[in-house]
Amino acid sequence: MSGYVAGLAEAGQRIEAALAWWAAELGGVVGAESRPAPARSDLAFYLGPPGADQALVLVDRRAEPPRRYTLAAEIDDLPERLAAIRGTGRKAVSVSVLVDPAACFLRSLHLPAAALPRMREVLAQELEAATPFRVAGVHADWFVEGEDETGLRVRHVVLKRARLDPVLAVLARAGLQVATVGVGTSEDRALPVDLLSGGGRPIPRMLRGVTWGDGAALALSGLLALAAFGLLRTHQEATLGALETATVDARRAAPPRLAPPVQALAGALAAERGSRPPLAVLWSALARALPGAAFAETLHLGPEGATATLRTTDLDGTVRALRDAPGLGLGPVTVRERDAAAGRLVVGLSARAWSDPAGGPTRLRP
């Protein structure tokens, strides 16, 4: 059981390493060829070389001309003085720190181009293997100085945390937000590094040498691909719509799927049902045939014919009127019930053959 768990742990570590490698690869593809110039901060803080005058220089660039302050590094109220320089406004004030190169450990390495996607890990391993520094105790960043057919020339910049962290802590207590930590004798001559990044921004390989013309061609290719995809989707929708319409039409035009004997019997029943007059037609003909002193109370159409319940004071006259009515469309009239006292008469009517003037052949559908 323990071996199985250990195997799972090892597989998880391999998967994590593979995902980290692919993330680094993607970062190398979408990164920038060189780091863009950081946004100009409100304050510029200069940290000189060790062993020299420990006075700290702060330049306030929020007004013209910029104000320059020289502060002693060892005074106890340094955060309060920096807070006073920052002011009491609600707007956040950013500060960029510039470290003198003499305070840093700079080295140049020659590495293969294949190490570029994982340059941060490669430099960390080489730093601990070849120098007394440890990754946990330094701030570091790197940049590519050049490239030849054998590999890359990489400049690695390292600064001890014991040198920079106290300064960052003082700035934080003063309410200042540190934007970048650069290295150089002046901002115009600073190296393209940011020690706060830890070297986590690899330089791309695939986008190296891409020009504006290449970018325009890529953008045009993307637009053409989107247009082609839209045309393909439109063609697919039109094809599916035509196929659905053709399927519905074919189903409607298909012959009945009933067996011939069943279809013949269904046709006979439909013809017999169609030869009988509808109830509305029979009711209208009965109302025209009745004399003025009689009226129909109910009319029921059954298999034997129609049965009508009439109310009248002249029973015999009503029966004669029904039998003599021209064009009634009824057969022989038979008296089924007769109640002279109540004036109630129930007669049976045999429907004759009838055809619908607007009808046609009736065919059952499955």
Say if 223 falls within a structural domain.
no
Do both 193 and 272 map to the same domain? Answer: no
Tens-place pLDDT, residues 108-144: 999 988 888 888 889 999 989 988 899 899 999 999 8
Say if 137 falls within a structural domain.
yes
- The whole domain housing 315 covers 267-351
Residue 32 has pLDDT above 60, yes or no: no
Say if 85 falls within a structural domain.
yes
Residue 353 has pLDDT above 50, yes or no: yes
Residue in this structure with the two tokens 């209208």, named with its chain if needed: 284
Do both 283 and 142 map to the same domain? Answer: no
CATH number for the domain spanning 299: value is 3.30.1360
CB 125 within 8 A of CB 199: no
Do both 161 and 58 map to the same domain? Answer: yes
Say if 108 falls within a structural domain.
yes
Tens-place pLDDT, residues 256-291: 677 778 778 877 777 766 666 677 777 887 888 888
The pLDDT, as a whole number, for residue 237 is 94
Count of structural domains within the chain: 2
366: closest CA among 248, 251, 243?
Answer: 251
Q: Could you give the CA distance from residue 40 to residue 284 in angstroms, rounded to a whole number? A: 99
Say if 218 falls within a structural domain.
no
Last residue of a domain, one of 157, 172, 206: 206
Rounded mean pLDDT, 52-65: 79
Q: Could you list the beta-strand ranges (E) of 87-233.
A: 94-99, 105-111, 138-148, 151-160, 177-183
Say if 59 falls within a structural domain.
yes
Last residue of a domain, one of 189, 206, 223: 206
**Host H or E run for residue 270:** helix 260-275
Do both 198 and 322 map to the same domain? Answer: no
Do both 293 and 169 map to the same domain? Answer: no
Do both 272 and 190 map to the same domain? Answer: no
Last residue of a domain, one of 206, 223, 249: 206
Tell me which of 67-71, 210-214, 259-263, 294-298 is least confident. Answer: 210-214
Q: Could you give the CA distance from residue 299 to residue 289 in angstroms, rounded to a whole number? A: 14
The pLDDT, as a whole number, for residue 12 is 67
Residue 56 has pLDDT above 90, yes or no: no
Outline where the chain has alpha helix (H): 2-30, 78-86, 119-130, 161-173, 212-253, 260-275, 279-289, 315-324
Do both 144 and 61 map to the same domain? Answer: yes
Residue 295 has pLDDT above 70, yes or no: yes
Q: Could you give the CA distance from residue 264 to residue 256 in angstroms, rounded to a whole number? A: 12
Residue in this structure with the two tokens 């040198």, named with its chain if needed: 163
The pLDDT, as a whole number, for residue 38 is 52
Residue 3 has pLDDT above 70, yes or no: no
Do both 196 and 330 map to the same domain? Answer: no
The token pair at 87 is: 């002011």
Do both 153 and 81 map to the same domain? Answer: yes
CB 33 within 8 A of CB 16: no
Do both 194 and 71 map to the same domain? Answer: yes
The pLDDT, as a whole number, for residue 351 is 57
Burial class (CB within 10 angstroms; exposed 0-12, middle 13-18, buried 19+) of 289: buried
Tell me which of 18-32, 179-193, 236-250, 316-330 is least confident. Answer: 18-32
Residue 222 has pLDDT above 70, yes or no: yes
- CA angle (209 as vertex; 206, 215 as ends), nearest 5: 85
CB 157 within 8 A of CB 191: yes
Tell me which of 21-35, 148-162, 220-234, 309-323 is least confident. Answer: 21-35
Tell me which of 53-62, 180-189, 322-331 is least confident. Answer: 322-331
Residue 205 has pLDDT above 50, yes or no: no
Say if 135 falls within a structural domain.
yes
Say if 48 falls within a structural domain.
yes
CATH number for the domain spanning 105: value is 3.30.420.380
Residue 34 has pLDDT above 50, yes or no: no
CB 352 within 8 A of CB 330: yes
Percentage with pLDDT > 70 across the chain:
75
Rounded mean pLDDT, 171-176: 87
245 pLDDT band, cuts 50/70/90, is: very high
Do both 78 and 172 map to the same domain? Answer: yes
158: closest CA among 195, 187, 185, 197?
Answer: 195
